[in-house]
């Protein structure tokens, strides 16, 4: 199965945060799954770090993602085309791009964000 992790799911996984539920942990750890981290999530982490909302070292995060066998998903034209027609049910531009990427990639979007359910994307709660 192909999984695209929401930004908080990446951070929770890397920090072993208890908010990441056991089912989500199993899915991420399963070597049979293709686990993707979007460049948009890495960008969001840097933006939040720069404005003081998050303490993070993007270099360490990128190294950890690679070391754990996850793939970084670049932002491509197909993702932006899907994004351009995606309804704006809420105001988070990073979520919008991640949802568009999950749709394009045929991935399950692993997120705890309740707003995601309003979009035409396969979603699994990362809190379970």
* Architecture of the CATH domain 2-125: 3-Layer(aba) Sandwich (3.40)
Q: What is the pLDDT of residue 128?
A: 81
Q: What's the pLDDT tens digit per position in 88-127? A: 888 899 999 999 999 999 999 999 999 999 999 999 999 8
Give the residue extent of every domain in the chain: 2-125
The whole-angstrom separation of Cα 35 and Cα 21 is 16
| Over residues 22-33, mean pLDDT | 97
Q: What angle do CA 105, 90, 37 make, to 5 degrees?
A: 30
Does the pLDDT at position 36 exceed 90?
yes
Q: What is the pLDDT of residue 90?
A: 85
- C-alpha separations of 120 from 18, 36, 53, 90, 115 in Å: 28, 19, 30, 14, 11
Q: What is the pTM of this model?
A: 0.95
- C-alpha separations of 34 from 5, 27, 37, 50, 87 in Å: 11, 10, 10, 30, 27
Confidence of residue 43 (pLDDT cuts 50, 70, 90): very high
Strands lying side by side in the sheet with 71-73: 71-73, 34-38, 2-5, 108-111, 123-125
| Over residues 58-62, mean pLDDT | 97
Percent of the residues in the chain that have a pLDDT greater than 90, as a whole number:
95
């Amino acid at each position: 199965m192909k999984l695209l992790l929401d930004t908080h799911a990446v951070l929770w996984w890397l920090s072993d945060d208890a908010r990441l539920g056991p089912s989500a942990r199993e899915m991420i750890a399963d070597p049979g799954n293709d686990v993707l981290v979007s460049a948009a999530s890495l960008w969001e982490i840097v933006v939040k770090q720069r404005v003081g909302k998050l303490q993070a070292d993007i270099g360490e995060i990128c190294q950890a993602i690679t070391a754990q066998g996850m793939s970084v998903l670049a932002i491509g034209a197909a993702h932006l085309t899907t994004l351009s027609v995606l309804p704006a049910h809420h105001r988070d531009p990073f979520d919008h791009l991640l949802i568009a990427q999950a749709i394009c990639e045929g991935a399950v979007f692993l997120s705890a964000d309740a707003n995601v359910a309003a979009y035409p994307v396969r979603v699994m709660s990362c809190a379970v």
